[in-house]
Amino acid sequence: MVSEIRLYTEAAYIEKAQHFEAVLSSRGVQVQIETVEKLNARFFRLTPELALCVDADGLWLSANGMKMQPDWKAEVGRLKRASLKSEMIARACNLSEKPTLIDATAGLGHDSLLMAHLGAHVTLVERHPILFTLLEDTHARAQNDTFLNPVVSRIHLVFSDSADYLIQQAAENAVVDVVYLDPMFPQRDQNQQAPKKQAQVKKQMQLLHMLLPEDGEMDLGDNLLELAQKIAKRVVVKRPRLAVFLADKAPDHQWQGDACRFDAYFQHDLVAE
């Protein structure tokens, strides 16, 4: 995991940069702040290494001429078009019942944002200190948006390893309606049924690939399924349409789309205290 990183900023945003330096330091990441004249496209082209930057729009991850953040404001159009009937994820997670839901594979939080918009009360769990800090900044900025404020009020962020968090919940005899799993890189070794041709990875995913690999391996989430089943009435796993089952375990039900599917595992014997 990344233990140190440069953070670039302009003089006008040095206080913001110092705030993020303190936050990341408390989470085990050493930050070296560098002030630059202008954070523009030319600067990012000439600064290929993985870094952070701070500007008027908050905290960003950057590398290879690209910059990325979990931009929840950019999702507003999708949210306004979404409905319980139109979204397959809504049927898979039974969002019409406004469930308590743990998203144990946070990513950029876009699915959690959609599920909260459609009524779920979401606990978003992320273990990587830099990605969590990006999510935290996005969550805070979204509270100032009139449309997003009531949505993000239903999202609670937890800085934790998902396996540890699920184990803790089980030890406390907690029961939730849904645990949602979307392993970030299932195509790496769990897409054996799919054609070998790979689509170009999106810019956001390229940067996440650079940030998240550990010892050259991706966390594919196999271990989370069994842990999730101990506390959730329903575990929902998002998969590429032709991917093998998570942990090689056949689901109780599936919802199939053109590009992806949702595998559901039901635990009828779980009841909340």
Instruction: Please state the residue numbers annotated as binding site.
Output: 126-127, 182
Distance CA 166, CA 164 (A): 6
Cα-based distances in Å from 61 to 25, 110, 128, 180, 193 = 17, 17, 13, 25, 33
Angle at 206 (CA atoms; ends 200, 211), nearest 5 degrees? 160
Instruction: Point out the annotated binding site for S-adenosyl-L-methionine.
Output: 126-127, 182
Among residues 178, 114, 180, the alpha carbon closest in space to that of 148 is found at 114
Determine contact, residues 176/235, Cβ cutoff 8 Å. Answer: no
Handedness of CA 36, 37, 43, 46 (dihedral sign): negative
3-state secondary structure of 220: coil
Beta bridge partners of residue 135, listed in sequence order: none
Among residues 229, 224, 237, 230, the alpha carbon closest in space to that of 263 is found at 237
